[in-house]
Amino acid sequence: MAGSIINNLGSLPVVFTSGQGSTLTDTEGNKYIDFVSGIGVNCLGHNHPALVGAICEQAARQIHISNYYNSDKGLSYAAALLAKTGMDRVFFGNSGAEANEAAIKIARKTGALSDAEAGKKPGTRHVIVTLFKSFHGRTITTLSATGQEKFHAPAFAPYTAGFRFIEANNYEALKTAFDDSVCAFMLECVQGEGGVNLVDAQWAQAASEAARNAGAIVIADEVQTGIGRTGAFLASDGLGIQPDVVTLAKGIAGGIPMGACLARGKAAQSLVAGDHQSTFGGNPLACAAASAVLDVLSEPGFLAKVAEKGDYIRSKVSAWKHPEIINVRGKGLMIGIDIKGNASAVQLECLKKAGPQSTGLCISTAGPSTLRFLPPLVITMKEIDDGLDILAEVLGS
């Protein structure tokens, strides 16, 4: 059956049939502790009653109406999300790449409006500064914004022009990065696909100030870091940069495909009717799921527990002082572990631990030698301990 799917995914040799909490079950009935959560998507784990209930109730009422009209669920969720984030307006799409495409168009349009105000030719201010080791999506334009050459395959060229890359946490780079051709500075608050690399808050503030001094806006790509993943609803709050645009996806609707591009100030006013659309974006079903996620994450103490769980994992793994482990880092439940060996081999061996009398472990990678943990935000301490025991056994072997 797997042979019917285009061979571009490189899927692992397991087929899942169901999930409960932070545990997955395959076609053979084997169990796996989930440290991947659909690459950070299943933030409430599997079969969460509040999420399932919201989806079922909404599916019985209305699933889709197109963007010709507003839905009551879409409007109520938009208001709640903007209140939670302090942003002014939101565009709903279906994925992180869509959210980032919208952000890029907002940046270019805002730059064009600035050109017009200054009496310059439209398009003069069009460059977007992003970071080396960044990842912003798989479309041609979001790949162009991605600062990793391994994603710039010649077969897909030519790529969209107008992107400039600088090194994160490098103050010297800020001296020449921003000029009157730049319309935006775009950064991930933690670089996920690039290796779970942390961005220094003081540097992020300095870079944002340099961008704004040059007349550019600041975009925080929170596709992976947002929706509580780092222990705060938005990781950009911890950096103290107050972005003009924030992009969200992955965990936003707990497993229903959805993305969001939020904007404030002049960035929120730049797009007008006809500038950008999405047929499925913001449909009532996705917004109902997203509302359920927002309600759970807003429960008192929920995000503090996410931070505590992340601290516990990093502390426990570091305390092993395992000879195969080089470094442990991250924020909240977004964790990277550098190892001496091959990360993909460890990933596969963790899966193979599953059997009639034993449990496997699902982990992901972020580079050839980096293991990445993105467990459900609702994972229990016992599930964490059991998962880490499996990893320790694999590393020991």
What tens digit of pLDDT does each residue of 12-40 get?
999 999 999 999 999 999 999 999 999 99
Given a cut of 60, whether residue 56 has pLDDT beyond it is yes
The CATH class of the 51-297 domain is: alpha beta
Secondary structure (DSSP) of 188-203: ESEETTTTSEEPPHHH
Give the right CATH number for 2-34+300-396 from 1.10.3720.10, 3.40.640.10, 3.90.1150.10, 3.40.50.300.
3.90.1150.10
Q: Are 125 and 182 in contact, with CB atoms under 8 Å apart?
A: yes
The residues facing 21 across adjacent strands are 46
The more confidently predicted of residues 177 and 67 is 177
Given a cut of 80, whether residue 249 has pLDDT beyond it is yes
Given a cut of 70, whether residue 2 has pLDDT beyond it is no
pLDDT at 21: 97
Q: Where in the chain is the domain with CATH 3.90.1150.10?
A: 2-34+300-396
Query: What is the residue whose two structure tokens read 């109520």?
Result: 76
Rounded to whole angstroms, how far apart are CA atoms 278 and 251?
Answer: 19
What tens digit of pLDDT does each residue of 206-227 get?
999 999 999 999 999 999 999 9
What tens digit of pLDDT does each residue of 334-344 get?
999 999 999 99
Q: Are 98 and 316 in contact, with CB atoms under 8 Å apart?
A: no
pLDDT at 125: 95
Rounded to whole angstroms, how far apart are CA atoms 378 and 395?
Answer: 26
Q: Where in the chain is the domain with CATH 3.40.640.10?
A: 51-297
What tens digit of pLDDT does each residue of 256-272 get?
999 999 999 999 999 99
The residues facing 320 across adjacent strands are none
pLDDT at 315: 98
The predicted model gives 129-136 an average pLDDT of: 98
The more confidently predicted of residues 4 and 3 is 4
Q: How confident is the model at residue 122 (pLDDT cuts 50, 70, 90)?
A: confident
pLDDT at 3: 66
Q: Are 67 and 243 in contact, with CB atoms under 8 Å apart?
A: no
Q: How confident is the model at residue 1 (pLDDT cuts 50, 70, 90)?
A: low
Question: Whole-model pTM?
Answer: 0.96
